Copies of this chain bind each other. A is one copy, B any other.
Amino acid sequence: MKHAALSARMGGLRSSAIRDLLTLTARPDVISLAGGLPDPNFIPRERISRAAADALGDASSVQYGETSGLRHLREVIAARESVKIGRTLESSDVVVTHGSQQGLSLLAQVLLDAGDTVVVEDPAYTGALQVFRTAQATLAAVPVDADGMDTEVLEAKLAGGLRPKVVHTVSNFHNPRGSVLSLERRAHLAKLADTYGFWILEDDPYGELYFDGPPPLPVAALSDRVIRLSSASKVLAPALRVGWLHGDRRVCEAVELIKQGADLCGSSLTQQIAADLFSDTAWFDAHLDKLRASYGNRAKALVSALEAGFGDSARFSPVRGGMFCWMESLEPVDTAAVLDVAVEHGVAFVPGAAFGVDADLSLAARLCFATYPETVLEDAARKLCDAFRDASAQSRG
């Protein structure tokens, strides 16, 4: 293939704006609220180290493994997910993937042909957009508000003739919007799936990170047209690269088949580590409690400082869990333009436009509160406030 042809093939794709942004803002003098990174201090390295040493006592930890994942890990995940969805899953119902991003990617290969319609949220998780664009799907956007995806809008589109193969939703503590899909909308979405025959991909990496109380029942509890995805990245460690999915058996078998060609299997070593940590329930429950309390305190500290600093000039969505705070400027200031000024002030974020499909999100921004302690977040809020003030003054001047 000539380079021109290669460019044409890849023309529909672009590097994740966020990954590029992370490189730009990875300066030691910048407090970056841009990433979606867990605080490395909350990643249990000592416990992982002990689990690694234990696993490496056995030869199975270094050999090829089953494509669908280590049986013990699938058992532990099946048990945890059974409680969540209120029906019993077997280990054979679970496919372990190389992070839940691989789950999305394999599902797109299984479920979609080029030109098929996929409903995405607006704003959307950019990693999902990349997957569906790679699959050459036609994207149809449905707005997300403080209660998650607006299923009334979805229903109107369906009534108007839209026939998606797949509807993707980040149901809990949405990335980037922070919102939780309400129980009413979950039930509505499940009913629409049954009526119109689409698959729901319930993408839930953040559901365990609740601050006040657990989120509503998973959509997977309300319909069997749901493939539910989750991950160890936000609760244990991204470097384990352990995600999983479960749902319709035929779809999962097809995912496993595609995974054989995609990478043969995952790492027996990191899967044994994940199984060890998940099955040490006393330790894991205490670890989750610590994450919930710590991230919750950080969210409160950041939002309080921002509200104090911005006053009536911006609105911040209430944060009930996860890693992100969503900001909407009430003054006409393009957050993409503010970013340059903000970096000069020593703080970074992701402009809302990076997550937009159809929506104009030029006044919005995603702020990650997970990576730094409260005092640093309070400093970041002051710098952000100064940056917006300077940018506003510049645009008026």
Chain B residues whose CB sits within 8 angstroms of the CB of A52 once the complex forms: 49, 52-53, 56, 269
Choose among B40, B250, B265 the residue that contacts A63 (Cβ–Cβ < 8 A): B40
For A57, list chain B residues within 8 Å (CB): 45
Q: Are B62 and A262 in contact (CB under 8 A)?
A: no
Q: Is the CB of B43 within 8 A of A49?
A: no
Q: How far in angstroms is the closest Cβ of chain B from A220?
A: 17
Q: How far is the CA of A65 from the CA of B53 in the complex (A)?
A: 23
Query: Does chain B have a CB within 8 A of A79?
Result: no
- Name the interface residues of A208-252: CB closer than 8 Å to any CB of B: 233, 237-241, 250-251
A-B contact pairs, 25 of them (CB 8 A): A1-B111, A6-B254, A7-B250, A9-B113, A9-B254, A10-B257, A13-B258, A40-B59, A40-B62, A45-B62, A48-B56, A49-B53, A61-B239, A62-B237, A63-B239, A101-B264, A130-B260, A131-B261, A238-B265, A239-B267, A240-B267, A241-B265, A241-B267, A267-B270, A270-B270
Once the chains bind, are B250 and A6 in contact (CB under 8 Å)? yes
Measured between beta carbons, the chain B residues less than 8 angstroms from A269 are 48, 52, 237, 239-240, 270
The yes or no answer to A67 lying at the interface (CB within 8 A) is: yes
- Let me know if A134 and B258 touch, CB within 8 A: yes
Does A63 contact B43, Cβ atoms closer than 8 Å? yes
A227 to chain B, nearest CB (A): 11
Instruction: Report if A262-B262 is in contact (Cβ < 8 Å); known contacts: A250-B6, A254-B6.
Output: yes
Nearest B residue to A14, CB-CB: B257
Which residues of the other chain, B, contact A15 by a CB distance below 8 angstroms? 257, 260
Pick the interface stretch among A102-110, A142-150, A357-365.
Answer: A102-110
Given contacts A63-B238, A134-B258, 10 further A-B contacts (CB under 8 A): A45-B59, A46-B56, A49-B52, A49-B56, A52-B56, A52-B269, A63-B237, A98-B241, A239-B267, A241-B267
**Which residues on the B side are within 8 Å of A65 (C-beta)?**
239
Q: Does A199 have its Cβ within 8 Å of any Cβ on chain B?
A: yes
Contact B37 A59 (CB under 8 A): no
User: Interface size of A by Cβ–Cβ distance < 8 Å?
Assistant: 72
Taking the complex as formed, is A2 at the interface, i.e. its CB lies under 8 A from any CB of chain B?
yes
- Report A377 CB to chain B, min CB distance, Å: 19
A43 to chain B, nearest CB (A): 4
Question: In the complex, A2 Cα to B1 Cα: how many Å?
Answer: 37
Q: Does A318 contact B (CB under 8 A)?
A: no
Are B10's CB and A262's CB within 8 A?
Answer: no
**Chain B: CB-nearest residue to A236:** B62
For residue A283, CB closer than 8 A to chain B, the reply is no
B101 near A261 with CB under 8 A, answer yes
Closest chain B residue to A43, Cβ basis = B62
Per-position 1/0 for A257-280, Cβ under 8 A of B? 110111111111110000000000
